[in-house]
Copies of this chain bind each other. A is one copy, B any other.
Amino acid sequence: MSNWFEDLGATLDMVWHRLEAGLSEDGAAARYPAFANVGVNDGAEARIVRLRGVDRDLGRVEFHTDLMSDKVDQLARNPCASLLIWEAPLGFQIRLRVWATVLSGAAVAHLWPDIPPPSQRAYGGMPPPGQPMAGPEVHERAIDPARLAVVICAVQAIDTVNLTEPRHHRALFQRKDDFAGRWLAP
């Protein structure tokens, strides 16, 4: 077995290795995954988020958002969401199907002091995100720790594709069998 992508265990190791790189490496693809959920008109929405936590033992990842953003209500209605990471240099696509739970208030207040001041400014502006405004200058920035929300993404399945030639490799790892992994047709 010469290449990591030819082995299920090594592929799963690579997934978590790249996710962890998203926390520690400036240029890592996993620093800014796409997060998709079910939103307007019961259609799919997607936007970039900043990865803030990775826990392989618990099988979860985290990001932060504004408690008043649309996706908080959307996730309460439908928590089945996905994170997508495209590792271009590896030709490796990582798709995480997750169950997303939003925490706020006392449950996350301990995180506030560790948020750098420039990032703290993302919580508290008025009107709240997504509300209509007469012009950009109407928006008032403010800092309100009560607006911090943490989205806990419990990974239900990991779907990977590696585009190496002459053969692509696709694998699926599921929580229900402790992420043992199986091959899928690419």
Taking a contact as CB atoms under 8 Å apart, the answer to whether A48 and B82 are in contact is: no
What is the CA–CA distance of A46 and B38 in the complex, to the nearest angstrom? 11
Check: A134 CB closer than 8 A to any chain B CB. Answer: yes
Among residues of B, the one whose C-beta sits closest to the C-beta of A169 is: B136
CB-CB under 8 A for A185 and B43, given A36-B36, A48-B93, A136-B167: no
Q: How many residues of A contact B (CB 8 A)?
A: 48
A50 smallest CB distance to B (angstroms): 11
How many copies of the chain does the oligomer comprise?
A: 2
Check: A149 CB closer than 8 A to any chain B CB. Answer: no
What is the CA–CA distance of A81 and B39 in the complex, to the nearest angstrom? 10
A17 smallest CB distance to B (angstroms): 20
Check: A130 CB closer than 8 A to any chain B CB. Answer: yes
Check: A45 CB closer than 8 A to any chain B CB. Answer: yes
Q: Choose among B45, B86, B133 the residue that contacts A184 (Cβ–Cβ < 8 A).
A: B133
CB-CB under 8 A for A139 and B95, given A34-B36, A43-B78: no
Give chain B residues whose Cβ lies under 8 Å from the Cβ of A40.
80, 97
Contact with B along A131-159 (1 / 0, CB 8 A): 11111111100000000000000000000
Taking a contact as CB atoms under 8 Å apart, the answer to whether B47 and A37 are in contact is: no
Give chain B residues whose Cβ lies under 8 Å from the Cβ of A42.
38, 78, 80
A77 smallest CB distance to B (angstroms): 11
Which positions 12-34 of chain A face chain B at CB distance < 8 Å?
A: 32, 34
Among residues of B, the one whose C-beta sits closest to the C-beta of A129 is: B185
A124 smallest CB distance to B (angstroms): 12
Give chain B residues whose Cβ lies under 8 Å from the Cβ of A131.
184-185
